Amino acid sequence: MVVISEDFITKNEIMNDGGEIFMYYSKMYGCYITYGFSAYNVWQGLYNQEMNNKVSYSEDYQMPQVLVDNHLKIQLLRSGVELGESIEGVFYHIKTFSPFNDNEYFEWASLIRGE
């Protein structure tokens, strides 16, 4: 099985202009997870009351994270503009419509972190 490194995840989010969603399978959570700009993109586009318990702050990656259950994963795969490089069961790269405002992301991230 392919293992995704922390460096790979961090690099993807550093290079993310907000127009992409990277989802990684987490054995610990038993579902997919998004971080940073990807997490904000998921939260912003699909926010509802049920998502409140899926949003938290990752101390390991020092950025917000959103847990993605199977239902949400299917929604995201259907709503994306294009599926980039992906490995089934390991990670997905979804290209979305457009980037968002960085300032809005940093405000949201501060709220999630509890600052």
Kindly report, residue by residue over 56-110, the tens digit of the pLDDT: 999 999 999 999 988 888 888 887 667 777 776 788 998 887 777 889 899 999 9
Q: Is 34 helix (H, G, I), strand (E, B) or coil?
A: strand
- Quick check: 44 and 55 in contact, CB under 8 A? no
- The pTM of the full predicted model, rounded to 2 decimals, is 0.86
Q: CA 47, CA 36: separation in Å to the nearest integer?
A: 15
Task: Tell me what pLDDT residue 37 has.
Answer: 93
User: To the nearest 10°, the Cα dihedral for 50, 53, 57, 63?
Assistant: -20
Among the listed residues 87, 76, 89, 67, the one whose alpha carbon sits nearest the alpha carbon of residue 21: 76
**Tokens 């699909």 -> residue:** 46
